[in-house]
Amino acid sequence: MPIPENARKYWRENIKYLTVLLIIWFAVSFGCGILFKDFLNRYSLGGFKLGFWFAQQGSIYVFVILIFVYIRLMNKLDKKYGYNEK
Amino acid sequence: MDVQIWTWLLVGVSFALYFGIAIWARAGSTKEFYVAGGGVSPLANGMATAADWMSAASFISMAGIISFAGYDGSVYLMGWTGGYVLLALLLAPYLRKFGKFTVPDFIGDRYYSNTARTVAVICALIVSFTYVAGQMRGVGIVFSQFLQVEITTGVVIGMAVVLVFAFLGGMKGITYTQVAQYCVLIFAFMVPAIFISIQMTGNIIPQIGMGGRVEDGTYLLQKLDNLHTQLGFKEYTEGTKSTWDVFAITLALMAGTAGLPHVIVRFFTVPNVKDARKSAGWALLLIAILYTTAPAVSVFARTNLIETVSNQEYSSLPEWFKNWENMGLIAWSDKNEDGKIQYVNGEATTGKPEFTDARGANGERIISNASSETNELYVDRDIMVLANPEIAQLPAWVIALVAAGGLAAALSTAAGLLLVISTSVSHDLIKKQLKPDISDKGELLAARISIFVAVVVAGIFGIYPPGFVAAVVALAFGLAAASFFPAIVLGIFDKRMNRQGAISGMIVGIILMLFYMIRFKTGLIGVLDPLPPSEWWFGTSPEGFGTVAMTVNVVISVIVSRLTPAPPEDVQDIVENIRIPSGAGEAHDH
């Protein structure tokens, strides 16, 4: 079965979204919370050292936001390519 | 009213609620039994997923572990929430579109092979059983501590309760009781946290209170870091693990979370792909409420503990200290004979404390295995959440609430896992391999029988916990990361991935992980038992090794698949089909 052009384009845009979202996912947790923690700890956010805050609070907030952004983007994408359902 | 009466009351009312729901939501067909009929709303599914996910370990142990590990505890916080991002973006929508009942279903069909299906079933059983044994034990401990019964009796009561709602309702019953259990457990976790946050920092939101100031105007975390430094501990916000190990453990926990069969199966219960995405979002939001509060609880509890006991006379300590000492979860040995508690860095005892019947000069319980280090105090990590309301002198009903919450957390997770086990047996083994012509009624009966057997086996593990279980539960994530996760993700995103690649990757991944676990955790292989951390490969702890095994799995899968023929046309069509969200409805029946 040849793949319809529509499906191919839909998939390509989907991959693009995933790449961007996963880069952010990696940056806040593994980046800010682990690899650059010591550097960020020189700054503070209220009573938190910044790196510590990312590791125990910030990354989790960003994760939640990422999924909801993904839901929105995909709902729009589904509509654009006619794949949406009620 | 005292704590005991409140406990019976709150536990009794919540249990009556669960039973009522279980009877109301009885399952009539295999579809209702396996995937709740496929008509669960995204919010309800999100709540059920959250309850399913947050086990006795999340509720009782996690805040305690973080409270002793400080920054190092971040691996659990990030690992167990970040996994949901992978789940939502890489797995849930596609598996929902695929629309069968189980993970082995997907592996078997996508890799057109019953061998692959069997490998997946075995992996699912190993992962689920190690996990469920820990839950039954948790149920036993909570029952025994709050209702003053033997742990064995506690486990048996727990078994009976799980059996009733899993047996009657299957996935449908479990889903709706889990919704109720989520409400109970989150309420029970938040109430004491809010109380203590107000008490210590004047802030009603624990997440903000954690970064707030205490009475004398210093920041709470600064104060805790100072206390730690004074007592010879590493600063709370710094941690002791190497950066690579923290990285590896976090990644293994994330991938493992996304690959756990009892979590994935929840996304088969919603009506369509759009709802699968939405319920992943709800699930993480609802989980995040507990996971961002837990580190705050850890900081409050740690500070409270140090301030209450450090350099205090034993005789002047509050009641809770002696209660937990009587249960054997706190131990103190007056090494310098000054009658005061010296709590500093170091192990107070060699291994778990061993109590003798004798009492010391101050009335403390004498332990026979005190170490030669200066530290005099042993505190079991698991009591931090349970004792926290008492330490902070909260009202009796709040203390009782924690018992009801702990039970809700343990029971909901146990029920979800038992369902995965029974489905693996009745659906993946009996229906798909041994007896394909079995009727719907027969399969339903088989599912109920296997759930009964699974409950009994899990209960026996809970009553007689084999030594390896505790060590292995944390590693269940490593196993899931090393086996399922790459096979599923590659199955969706790499159309060229074939049977040979996936099977060899899964087998090498899980064997490598098992080998490393056994080599470094149990000492069953080799001369030295268990090998010391200095021998770890590239400084990777067994908990973090899932990351290495997963990478090896991916590399092998890709290489082998490129050297062997491409998968057949119809399988490539399956892949094309699951990448498109619409039309998931009809895929449900098969």
pLDDT(B160) > 80: yes
User: Residue by residue, what is the 3-state secondary structure of B254-265?
Assistant: HHHHHHCHHHHH
Supply the pLDDT for residue B375: 86
Residue B505 Cα distances to B332, B497, B581, angstroms: 50, 11, 28
Please indicate, yes or no, if residue A58 is contained in any of the structural domains.
yes
Q: Which residues of chain B lie closer than 8 angstroms to A34, CB-CB?
A: 74, 243, 246-247, 250
pLDDT(B147) > 80: no
Instruction: State the residue range of the domain holding A47.
Output: 5-79
CATH number for the domain including B125?
1.20.1730.10
Q: What is the pLDDT of residues B434-467, one digit of tens each?
A: 777 777 788 888 888 888 888 888 888 777 766 5
Residue B315 Cα distances to B102, B329, B352, B368, B377, angstroms: 58, 18, 24, 21, 15
Supply the pLDDT for residue A67: 95
Q: Is there a single domain that holds both residue B251 and residue B323? A: no
On the CB side of A44, CA atoms within 13 Å amount to: 10
Q: What is the pLDDT of residues B54-84, one digit of tens each?
A: 887 778 778 888 888 889 889 999 999 999 9
Which amino acid, residue B254? Answer: M
- pLDDT bucket at B531, cuts 50 / 70 / 90: low
Q: Is there a single domain that holds both residue B371 and residue B400? A: no
Residue of B nearest to A58 (CA): B292
- Per-residue pLDDT, averaged over A2-16, amounts to 86
- Per-residue pLDDT, averaged over B344-348, amounts to 82
Chain A interface disruption, residue of B65, B78, B287, most A CBs within 10 A: B78
pLDDT(A58) > 90: yes
Supply the pLDDT for residue B524: 59
Contacts of B206 (CB under 8 A, 6+ apart): B190, B193, B194, B196, B197, B293, B296, B297, B300
Q: What is the pLDDT of residues B462-519, one digit of tens each?
A: 777 665 555 566 677 888 899 889 999 999 999 899 999 999 999 899 889 888 877 7
Please indicate, yes or no, if residue A62 is contained in any of the structural domains.
yes
Among partner residues B74, B213, B221, which is closest to A55 by beta-carbon distance? B74
Question: Alpha helix locations (H) across B327-439?
Answer: 383-391, 396-423
Q: What is the pLDDT of residues B554-570, one digit of tens each?
A: 999 999 999 999 899 88
User: What is d(CA B486, CA B551) in angstroms, rounded to the nearest whole number?
Assistant: 9
- pLDDT bucket at B544, cuts 50 / 70 / 90: confident
Please indicate, yes or no, if residue B182 is contained in any of the structural domains.
yes
Supply the pLDDT for residue B339: 80
A56 or B360, which is more confident? A56
Tell me how many domains chain A contains: 1
Q: Is there a single domain that holds both residue B232 and residue B96? A: yes
Backbone φ and ψ of B527, nearest 5°: -85, -45
Please indicate, yes or no, if residue B589 is contained in any of the structural domains.
no
Among partner residues B66, B81, B569, which is closest to A60 by beta-carbon distance? B81
Among partner residues B77, B274, B295, which is closest to A85 by beta-carbon distance? B274
Among partner residues A7, A45, A63, which is closest to B82 by beta-carbon distance? A63
Max Cα distance, chain B (Å): 80
Tell me how many domains chain B contains: 3
Supply the pLDDT for residue B378: 87
* Least Cα separation, residue A15 to chain B (angstroms): 9
Rg of chain A, C-alpha, whole Å: 18
Residue of A nearest to B286 (CA): A64
pLDDT(B520) > 80: no
Residue of A nearest to B283 (CA): A64
Supply the pLDDT for residue B587: 42
Supply the pLDDT for residue B589: 41
Q: Is there a single domain that holds both residue B272 and residue B349? A: no
Tell which of B328, B354, B385 closes a domain. B385
Q: Is the dihedral of CA B535, B539, B543, B549 positive or negative?
A: negative
A58 or B311, which is more confident? A58
Whether the CB of B577 is below 8 Å from some CB of chain A: the reply is no
Q: Which residues of chain B lie closer than 8 angstroms to A9, CB-CB?
A: none
Q: Which residues of chain A lie closer than 8 angstroms to B85, CB-CB?
A: 21-22, 25, 63, 66-67
- pLDDT bucket at A19, cuts 50 / 70 / 90: very high
Residue from B134, B67, B43, B10 nearest B293 by CA: B67
Q: Is there a single domain that holds both residue B403 and residue B332? A: no
User: What is d(CA B296, CA B293) in angstroms, rounded to the nearest whole number?
Assistant: 5
Among B184-188, B330-334, B385-389, the range scoring the smallest mean pLDDT is B385-389
Q: What is the pLDDT of residues B379-433, one digit of tens each?
A: 887 777 778 887 777 888 888 888 888 888 888 888 888 887 887 777 777 777 7
Please indicate, yes or no, if residue B347 is contained in any of the structural domains.
yes
Contact yes or no for A48 and B210 at CB 8 A: yes
Mean pLDDT (chain B, rounded): 82
User: What is d(CA B532, CA B275) in angstroms, rounded to the nearest whole number?
Assistant: 47
User: What is d(CA A60, CA A50) in angstroms, rounded to the nearest whole number?
Assistant: 14
Neighbours of B146 (CB within 10 A): 24
Q: Is there a single domain that holds both residue B396 and residue B274? A: yes
Q: Is there a single domain that holds both residue B203 and residue B329? A: no
pLDDT(B211) > 50: yes
Among B105-119, B150-164, B265-279, B519-533, the range scoring the smallest mean pLDDT is B519-533
User: Residue by residue, what is the 3-state secondary structure of A36-79?
Assistant: CHHHHCCCEECCEEHHHHHHHHHHHHHHHHHHHHHHHHHHHHHH
User: What is d(CA B1, CA B508) in angstroms, rounded to the nearest whole number?
Assistant: 59
CB–CB contacts below 8 A, A to B? 137
Please indicate, yes or no, if residue B67 is contained in any of the structural domains.
yes
- pLDDT bucket at A86, cuts 50 / 70 / 90: low
Residue from B100, B85, B456 nearest A30 by CA: B85
Residue from B156, B291, B157, B310 nearest B231 by CA: B310
Backbone φ and ψ of B354, nearest 5°: -110, 120
Chain B interface disruption, residue of A9, A11, A34, A72, most B CBs within 10 A: A34
Please indicate, yes or no, if residue A85 is contained in any of the structural domains.
no
Residue of A nearest to B572 (CA): A1
User: How distant is the alpha carbon of residue B41 from its chain centre?
Assistant: 24
Supply the pLDDT for residue B284: 93
Among partner residues B82, B288, B580, which is closest to A25 by beta-carbon distance? B82
Among partner residues B212, B243, B278, which is closest to A71 by beta-carbon distance? B278
Site of tokens 């125990």: A56
Please indicate, yes or no, if residue A57 is contained in any of the structural domains.
yes
Q: Is there a single domain that holds both residue B154 and residue B205? A: yes
B470 or B275, which is more confident? B275
- Per-residue pLDDT, averaged over B515-539, amounts to 68
Residue B453 Cα distances to B229, B418, B447, angstroms: 52, 10, 10
Please indicate, yes or no, if residue B437 is contained in any of the structural domains.
yes
Contact yes or no for A49 and B82 at CB 8 A: no
Contact yes or no for A35 and B573 at CB 8 A: no
User: What is d(CA A8, CA B477) in angstroms, rounded to the nearest whole number?
Assistant: 34
pLDDT(B590) > 80: no
Interface of A with B (CB under 8 A): 1, 3, 7, 10-11, 14, 18, 21-22, 25, 29-30, 33-35, 37, 41, 45-49, 52-53, 55-57, 59-61, 63-64, 66-68, 70-71, 74-75, 78, 82-85
Q: Is there a single domain that holds both residue B137 and residue B206? A: yes
Chain A interface disruption, residue of B85, B234, B235, B246, most A CBs within 10 A: B85
Q: Is there a single domain that holds both residue B242 and residue B354? A: no
Instruction: Write the DSSP assignment of B483-521 as a string of letters.
Output: THHHHHHHHHH-TT--HHHHHHHHHHHHHHHHHHHIIII
Q: Is there a single domain that holds both residue B444 and residue B537? A: no
Instruction: State the residue range of the domain holding B506.
Output: 496-566
Q: Which residues of chain A lie closer than 8 angstroms to B78, CB-CB?
A: 29, 33, 55, 59-60
- Per-residue pLDDT, averaged over B289-295, amounts to 93
Please give the share of chain B, as a percent, with pLDDT higher than 90. 14
Q: Is there a single domain that holds both residue B178 and residue B224? A: yes
Supply the pLDDT for residue B574: 86
Residue of A nearest to B254 (CA): A29
Residue B390 Cα distances to B65, B210, B402, angstroms: 18, 19, 11
Contacts of B329 (CB under 8 A, 6+ apart): B379, B380, B382, B383
Phi-psi region of B351 (alpha: psi -120 to 50; beta: other; left: phi over 0): left
Q: C-alpha dihedral over B435, B437, B438, B441, to 10 degrees?
A: 160
Please give the share of chain B, as a percent, with pLDDT higher than 70. 93
Contacts of B453 (CB under 8 A, 6+ apart): none
Contact yes or no for A55 and B90 at CB 8 A: no
Rg of chain B, C-alpha, whole Å: 24
Q: Which residues of chain A lie closer than 8 angstroms to B275, CB-CB?
A: none
- Per-residue pLDDT, averaged over B39-50, amounts to 85
Report ipTM (2 d.p.). Answer: 0.94
